[in-house]
Structure 1
Amino acid sequence: MGNKQDSPPYNPLDIPEIRDLIAHYLDRKDFLSCIRVSRDWFLYFILPIWKTIDFEKDATTFTKIASGVLNKYGRFISQAVNISDLDHLQALQHSKVNSLKFIKVQLSISCIYQQILSDTIRRSEGSLQLIDIFAEPSDPDTLAEQRKHGKHFFNTADAISSLPKSSGEGCVMRQDICRFCPILKDIRFDQGDPATTSALLAKTFEGLESCTLSTQVLAASTVLGLIAHQDSLTSIAVTKSIIGGDTETLKDASTMQWLYMIPLLCPHLQILSLEPFICDIDEIENHNWACGDLQELRVRVKGLDDPQDIKACLKQVCLQKRVCQDAVVFKDKATVVARVAQYLLQFKRLRIICLGTQVYNLPSCSA
């Protein structure tokens, strides 16, 4: 008599290979049909059904889901995005919605919203990895006036910096992040003021691995806040401000000097993007970058803005990498083209490079 596990499945469709094959071609409605095939199919397809709740698409349906349904399936929700209404937040207020990994919120500022959002974060304290919160300050713009309306500032830099330092309200979100998001490793600052951003970097987060910030929040203090995480940061990207042009100039010259220090003091960097700024090859050469495992670099260099020069530079880098040589063959080694190419060759693992035009993929060493 054969083993039980060798007997054919009760349902002829209950074959793992079929599940894997068709899963890539199905949408959520199809998944609902698939979970009825067998228990194995149920366990396989229930995850993609509940994994992401996008309130731009799912708000009408999700806000009407009965508590009993969430009691069964709430634990499968790992992403809640485009939360923009109080009803959206309230729909997530269930004890079984406790395994969120990513939450994206865009709300007006309200103490009610803040409390409910804090509760949502608290329930998923053991799983949350990424929080994306965008909030606009609302009128009235003083704490006393907002109390009359049951509102106070929340999250945005202008809001937090305007609160009295002795006020507990200004610390609520920072305390919640510290307490309930201990494994948060990836953050993004799109707007705000440098003082608030640098304070959050220095005092709130621990062991950051990835940080993206706009030029709007960039200052010497912000860079120092980043350097505070030099032992853990593997990715730093500076993006253009919404109001900025193709390139931007820092008002404070010392900030640019501190930017040159990032690859010098952050040895574990694998991704570095400083595209909004034009760097000086003299300054780059004067700072011996410590990030030997750099894999992706996006930077503009002064004097290297002609597309043909950029192509010539990267062509030499590609040729030298293919034969595993560290020296660039140029007649005039003093040109910015040769100097940039020579500097790039020290990064043996560099695979993606952008010098202001298009993105190039570099070959690996053939040896």
Structure 2
Amino acid sequence: MQLSPDNRSNNPLDLTKIRVRVSSFLGREDHLSCIRVCRDWFHDFAPLAWHTVDFDKEAAAFKKVPPEVLNKYGGFVSQTLNISTLSHIQALQHVKVNSIVAMKIHFNGNCLYRSMLSDLLRRSHGSITSLTFWCHPPEPNTFEKQRSGAYHYIHVNDIFAPFPSSTDPRSNASLGTRLKSLSLTHICLTREGFSSILQYSPLLDELTLDRVMVMYHKPGIPLYTGSALRYLSADFAQVWCNDSLDPSAPCLLLHFPLLEKWHLTSLAQPNNRTIDLKNLDFSSWCPLLQTVTFGSDDTDAISALLLNNFKDLKSCTLSAKTLAMSTALGLVSHMDSLTTIRFTGEAQEATSMQLLSVTMKLCRNLQVLSFESLVCDVETVEKIRWGCKGLRELRVRFQGLDTPEDIDGCLKKLCVTTRSGGIGSTRHLDKDTISTRIVQHLLQFKQLRTVWLGTKDYDLHRSSA
């Protein structure tokens, strides 16, 4: 008997959502087996089996795939990683390989390699949302040596390959309309080219620059300042166009008026100028910048930037090693706006608890505190009451909660007490125990939802429901 469409929909084996969930536990060989079961399974598993081609892992196997197979499955290839040789591009040289979403490409100076790469990008120009270009670092790894290596140079057409005009019926996208994420490593390009890349990428949301030389700024060439970029990963020197031949080139931040998040991978000064950290105002270029992550242990530079260069920060992430009086003062200078503070790595100073307590006392609008390496002394916490009554997420440890069982017991006690009515319901608890004192301290934060004390996250709302 044939199943009716309604009956078929009740069969678990015919539910796409079920098959997709099962597929997450399968390897590529299993995916290839599943696509042979039936037509429905083919449509669910074929995209997963052919989704990613990593040439570092499967170059030999993929190069043996015959054209007729690519004709059937090439449209499912969505991500190509570690393209680095002419043979890699040749393996993708098929008209049906035209829906790539993400590409990671090693750039070199071979003209034929670049020409065929341009063809591949042109075929996929309507689907690509993420591009990564990188070169091997020069030997020695200096900007001067990087400048002298022609294979480091990139131009606009390397990223936005020529394609049919908009009047051509085969064209399904305009220049750069889909690109959302771009990463460049050890690349050289002109300032005009950099400006054009931004202009041709109206949807570009994330940009990563690592040892990129932006060169040959000419005052007569207009710079594009309308980028919609919101996330930037680049070191301090990088945004100042670290090119010794362009000492007066303006800061790259002027291109990003809508920038919201900046990951400062390093705070080293540029090699072509000295920047006075006391006379900078990043808000003049990026008025919406409110989230900063410091990937450096330079306490003095972080303190100077927090005090002088950022305005109304909402979120700040920094290394625990940098927690000192100066950085605490820098954080407190944003006490009216800060809602998130995250410390990463191991705490080094014995005074970390005192400095953090002062910060927590004054930053009254704080909603998230994450300091996983800090071991709080309950007595110190009780003496200096935290002013951030709207705290929603807390990630710290406490002295006396030394085992997973202790932590679990404390958090369960917190959940039970919360469900029973809060601080008033702690009267029956043993007042002298560490867990009770911690529970009493945490109960003052009425909006607290997520707590981590050394083992796992506890959702207090779900646990107390």
TM-score, normalised to structure 2, is 0.52
For the pair 1:95 / 2:91, whether they are aligned, the reply is no
Q: Secondary structure at the match of 1:69?
A: helix
Runs of at least 5 residues in structure 1 that lack an aligned partner in the other structure: 139-154, 163-168, 314-320, 322-334
The counterpart of 1:271, out of the listed 261, 268, 285, is 261
Distance 1:177 1:272 in 2: 32
> Which residue is 1:133 aligned to?
133
What's the C-alpha RMSD, in Å, of the aligned pairs?
A: 5.0
Kept in 2, the 8 Å contact 1:85–1:107? The answer is no
Q: Provide closer, same or farther for how the CA distance between residues 216 and 34 of structure 1 changes in structure 2, counting only shifts above 3 A.
A: closer
Alpha-carbon distance change, 293 to 127 in structure 1, aligned in 2, over 3 angstroms: same
> 1:282 deviation in Å?
3.3
Higher relative contact order (CA closer than 8 Å, sequence separation 6+): 1
Partner of 2:161: 176
- Residues in 2 aligned to 1:159 and 1:127: alpha-carbon distance in whole angstroms: 29
Aligned to 1:165: none
Answering whether residue 155 of structure 2 is matched by residue 159 of structure 1, we say no
What's the offset of the Cα at 1:53? 0.9
1:317 equivalent in structure 2: none
Instruction: From the CA coordinates, give the structure whose radius of gyration is larger.
Output: 2
**Deviation for aligned residue 1:237:** 1.6
**CA–CA distance in structure 2, aligned partners of residues 39 and 81 of structure 1:** 29
Q: Secondary structure at the match of 1:97?
A: coil
1:106 partner letter: H
- Residues 276-312 of structure 1: CA distance to partner in whole angstroms, max 9, x if unpaired? 1168763456956754463443266975489xx9xxx
Matched, 1:336 2:326: yes
Hey, what does 2:231 align to over in structure 1?
235
Q: Which residue of structure 2 aligns with residue 113 of structure 1?
A: 113
1:205 to 2:190 alignment: no
Superposed displacement of residue 79, structure 1 = 1.3
Distance 2:8 2:34 in 1: 19
Q: C-alpha separation between the residues in 2 aligned to 1:256 and 1:363?
A: 41
Partner of 1:82: 82
Q: 1:298 aligns with which of 287, 294, 297?
A: 294
Q: By how many angstroms is 1:355 displaced?
A: 11
Instruction: Give 3-state SS (helix, strand or coil) of 1:100's partner.
Output: coil
The 8 Å contact of residues 294 and 347 in structure 1, kept in 2 or not, is answered as: no
Q: Give the length in aligned residue pairs.
A: 305
Deviation at 1:200?
1.8
Residues 52, 357 of structure 1: alpha-carbon distance in 2 compared, 3 angstrom cutoff: farther
Alignment-derived partner of residue 363 in structure 1: 367
> Structure 2: which 5+ runs fail to align?
139-145, 165-173, 269-274, 308-313, 315-324, 349-365, 369-389, 392-446, 448-465
Question: Which structure's residues are more often helix, by fraction?
Answer: 1
Partner of 1:122: 122
Matched, 1:191 2:175: no
- Residues 184-207 of structure 1: CA distance to partner in whole angstroms, max 9, x if unpaired? 3432332244xx342321234323
Residue correspondence of structure 1 range 13-92 to structure 2 within 5 A:
13-16=13-16, 18-92=18-92
Structure 1 residues 156-175: Cα deviation after superposition (integer angstroms, max 9, x where no partner): 8842899xxxxxx9885366
**1:33 to partner: Cα distance:** 1.9
Task: Report if aligned partners of 2:50, 2:77 keep a CA contact under 8 Å in 1.
Answer: yes
Q: Matched residues, percent identical?
A: 27
One-letter identity of the residue aligned with 1:173 = D
Q: How far off its partner does 1:4 sit?
A: 2.5
Describe the shift of the 1:188–1:178 C-alpha distance in structure 2 as closer, same or farther (beyond 3 A). Answer: farther
